[in-house]
Every structure is written in C-alpha cells, then in structure tokens.
Amino acid sequence: MLEPLPAAQWNETTAAHLLKRAGFGVRPGALAEWTALGLDGAVDRLVEWEKTPDPTPNPDWAKPDPSLIDRRKELRGLPEEERRAKFLEFQREQRQQVRELKLWWLRRLRETPRPLQEKLTLFWHGHFATSVEKVKLAYFMWRQNDLFRRLGQGSLRQLLIEVGRDPAMLVWLDGAQSRKDAPNENYGRELLELFTLGEGHYTEDDIKAAARAFTGWTVNRLRQEAFFVKDNHDGGRKTFLGASGNFGDEAIIDRILAQPQCARWITGKLWTFFAYERPEPALVDALAARFSGAGHEIKPVLHTLFRSREFYSSRALMTQIKSPVQWLIDLQGTLDLQRVPDQGLMQLLVQLGQHLFEPPSVKGWDGGRAWISTNTLLLRQNTAKLLVYGGDPGGIFGREEILGKLKQLQNLRAQANPGEPMDPEMQQRLQRLERAGKRKMDIPPLVDAARLVSAEDRADPARLVKTLTTRLFAAPPPPSALQAFDEYVRQAKYPASSETLQGLVYLMMARPEYQLT
C-alpha cells in the first residue's frame, strides 16, 4: 500500500490529475513544464509551498478595528433613534466586508501561486465548518480562514488547539458563553463527532468532560479577540476517553490524538477529499500509520498521498465530481476567461450549492453526488452555453439577485409605511432595480475559442479534438465521448471556423464527463 507511482507511469495524464486534485486545474501551457518535473519534483513544488512567494495582499480591514470601542462609547449618549441608525450603519459595513471577503478568497483561489495551500484551506473550511451567518464579523471569518492557510499542513495538535480558541468557532458553537457552572456541549460534541473521531468512538460522558475542559475561553467583540478567563474555567477532575485528570483543552486534544481512530478519521477524510470516496480500510490504516509516525503532521501525509500508486489508479482518475468551486476555478483557467465579473461568479457558486463562508451546517458540504442535481447540472450546462455563445444570463450572473433585492425592498416599504407617500430615495432605488430586472442583459461570449487552439489545430480535425480534450479533461474521455466529438468536427469545413470551435467547446463542456475530475 502507498508505494510510489513508477516513473514510467508519470506522463501528461497523471500530471494533469495531480494538478486538478491538488489544486484547481492546469493553466494553459503549463502541463508540459509540470510533466518535465517528474513525480517527485511536481509533488515537492505543490506541497513545499512555502518556497513559492505569495504576494496576495489581505483585505484592508483584516485586522482589529480600534475604533469599535470609541464607537460603542459614542452610542451611549445618543437618542434611541440615532443609536439604531448607527447600528444599522455598522451592519451595512459588516455586510460589505463579508462581500469583499468572499470575493477576495474567490480571486485568491483563482490566482494563487500556491494551489495546494488554497485547496487545503478549502478542505479545512468544510471540515471545521463555520458560517458568517451566525458569526457576523467578517474579520473573525477572515482570521479563521487565515488560520487554516497558515497551519493547514502543519501539526494537527496545534491546529486543533487554535481552532478551539478561534473567535469565529467560539461564536459559531457557543463556546464563548460556556462557563464552569453551565458548560456548553456544542463544541465538545462536534470536536469528537466531526473533527477528530467520528460517531461511535466516544460516549456522552466524554462529551460532557470535553465541554468542561473547554470552559473559560470567551470573545470580546469590541477588541475582536478571544481570551481566557480563569474564573470561568472548570479546573476540576474529569474522566475523558478512559483517563482521569484536571484536564484543560490541550490535555483533551492530547487524549484524542492518542486514539488510533483519530489518525484514521483525519487521513480518511483527506483521502476522500483528494482521491476517492470509501477508501480501502487497509489503505487508510497505512496512511494513518504514516500520520502517527510523523507526529500528526499533515505535510508528510500529503507527500505520501500524492506520490502513491493508488492516487493515480482507475478508482481515482476521472471519478470525482467537481465541487462548484473546483468547476468554476478550473473552467476559468482552462478556458482562459478574462472578463467574468467576480460578483456574478460568487452568485453562481451560491446557486450551484457552495456558498463560501456559509456552509449549510456544522457538517459542512456533503460533496460527491450531492453536488449534482437536475437543477445544478442544468445550471452548469446553461452557464457553459452562456460563456461560449454569450446571450442573456438571466439568473446566472446577477438578475436573480437583483429581483430578490427588489422584492425585499418592496416588502419592507409595504410593511413599514403602508399608505404613506414613498420616500424619494426609496422610490429611486426601486425604479433602478425594476429597470435592471426588466432589461435584457445580453453579454458577448466570454470564451475566445480561437485562442485555445493553434492554426495547425484548426486545419486538422483529429488534432483539434486532441488539443481541446487535453485542455478540458483531466484524462482522455471515454470512446463514446470521443466519437461524438469526432462526428461533430467531421461535418465542418477546414480550417475550422470560430463557430465550429465554439460548438466543439460547448459540446465538450456539456458532456457528463466534464463534471468529473
């Protein structure tokens, strides 16, 4: 188990598979370079990402805001109506920062020079699922995202300790209100059930003991920090996973790491995320042994995983359904898209079922087959058609959001002041939204199909199909797909026209195999 892939089997197909699974796709013209690195060189470049400079700046507001304390003091002397207005202003600021945060990460996912670092950050975001819907503060969500990015391939012990003290997590699972006289069990339960062991490997008493051990950590929203209050911590004796002592949070983490099931749980989830579902028990045991032997460091596991024969086996190649994020970032790179609005892409992600910073529950996203339904598959195909041919995007790039805002404003207006003359500013906003919702929103094609191929490709049907399938698919498509592509190109005149190229690209993107990586 987990023997390295033989050098003779390293080729453009296996290199493309690595780049799509350990990142978000193959940039145009880069596949030959990655293939030339060999298996070890390619894996090292991805995993040892700290050797690659990352100049991506953080959002301007991604730091504690000292003005919050003064703004809170200012509110005390204001009349109720002015206090409410100030509070609403603060909420608007936060909503704007949340929008900026989502767009910032979306751009980073697309442009990062460290694709595995961002892919692993996305993994931990789904694993320690936390939503801004409850947390509210954009800075707390950015801070957690940065935590996953900094510690994601390091010590699991350190990551678990930091996550338990993270302000966003303390708010999300109510740890900030957990005290020795009233310990909250939410974090202790999810720590055991979802984060480290899985169901069936702990008892209700273990949950209660963990809850007691994590008491004392709370959040100051004005200073935007978590801190420990010793008087609120239960320092008494506890029995947890078969051992007894005056355990605090670090001792609880150590007891969890001492369970062989923890290594199996974490490595099994990593394998499922990067390779394939339902991995063989023997494979998980072998990867868990590597993890435990490396002191629960994530980086050695990644080196082993991405070098292994099993990662490049038939169970892995072209068998994973692309998540909405994977699908969206991959197509932007492979199709060399330049002009798609970020806000439209974010709205598309929401419709496809992967709303960044707003996972559906503490379990994160189910993934796999759950990514595809009749509606989401049709939306993927309609989006492909829009990108290739242009036209009216409808709800894909903004109209649905516009009409939703219009309805909300209309409802608020009707509820707040029924029968009264409409405020001029409100009337103007409604009129603008109505015009935006009604007008036809034609956009030109966003895929320049002619840029994806050479003059030689356009002159040769077989070469044209090979170039585009290599570009769009992680591995050679099945014979039925190749036959469909061949039949399409044989009907055209050569050199191939722009219309022929558009049709072939859309035909490929509409295939079921395009949803796989």
* 54/194 same-domain check: yes
In this structure, what DSSP letter does residue 422 have?
A: P
For residue 294, is it within any domain?
no
Residue 87 binned pLDDT confidence (cut-offs 50, 70, 90): confident
* 234/347 same-domain check: no
* 99/40 same-domain check: yes
- The position carrying tokens 């298996």 is 39
* 365/337 same-domain check: yes
* 21/168 same-domain check: yes
Q: How far is it, in rounded angstroms, from Cα 6 to Cα 3? A: 9
pLDDT of residue 396: 67
Residue 76 neighbours by CB under 8 Å, 6+ apart: none
For residue 344, is it within any domain?
yes
* 237/336 same-domain check: no
pLDDT tens track for 179-218:
999 999 999 999 999 999 999 999 999 999 999 999 999 9
For residue 180, is it within any domain?
yes
Q: How many domains does the chain have?
A: 4
* 384/412 same-domain check: no
CB atoms near residue 134 (< 10 Å): 12
Of the residues 220, 243, 260, the one at which a domain ends: 260
Q: Identify which of 397, 349, 385 has the alpha carbon closest to the alpha carbon of residue 507.
A: 385
Q: How far is it, in rounded angstroms, from Cα 32 to Cα 30? A: 6
For residue 445, is it within any domain?
no
* 66/109 same-domain check: yes
pLDDT of residue 465: 96
Q: Identify which of 61, 62, 20 has the alpha carbon closest to the alpha carbon of residue 42.
A: 20
Is the pLDDT reported for residue 420 higher than 70?
no
pLDDT tens track for 119-160:
999 999 999 999 999 999 999 999 999 999 999 999 999 999
Q: In 129-267, at which residue ranges do the beta strands (DSSP E only) sit?
A: 217-220, 225-228, 238-240, 243-245
**3-state class (DSSP) for residue 397:** coil
The dihedral sign for the CA sequence 467, 471, 474, 478 = negative
For residue 507, is it within any domain?
yes
For residue 306, is it within any domain?
no
pLDDT tens track for 62-79:
999 988 888 888 888 788
3-state secondary structure 130-196: CCHHHHCCHHHHHHHHHHHHHHCCCEHHHHHHHHHCCHHHHHHCCHHHCECCECCCHHHHHHHHHHH
396: which 2 tokens? Answer: 């894909």
DSSP-derived secondary structure for 235-252: -S-EEETTEEE---HHHH
Q: How far is it, in rounded angstroms, from Cα 30 to Cα 16? A: 10
- At 393, which amino acid appears? P
pLDDT tens track for 323-342:
999 999 999 988 988 777 78
List residues bridging with 217 in a β-sheet. 228
For residue 315, is it within any domain?
no
Q: How far is it, in rounded angstroms, from Cα 29 to Cα 258? A: 46
When comparing pLDDT for 27 and 291, which is higher? 291
Is the pLDDT reported for residue 402 higher than 60?
no
CB atoms near residue 221 (< 10 Å): 14
pTM of the complete model: 0.91
Counting residues of the chain whose pLDDT is more than 90, the rounded percentage is 77
306: Cα separation from own chain's centroid: 20
If you average pLDDT over residues 426-450, what whole number do you get? 73
152: which 2 tokens? Answer: 């994601």
* 30/122 same-domain check: yes
* 198/242 same-domain check: yes
Of the residues 239, 260, 281, the one at which a domain ends: 260
Count the residues in the chain. 517
For residue 181, is it within any domain?
yes
Domain range enclosing 94: 9-260
* 114/194 same-domain check: yes
Of the residues 379, 412, 438, the one at which a domain ends: 438
* 135/193 same-domain check: yes
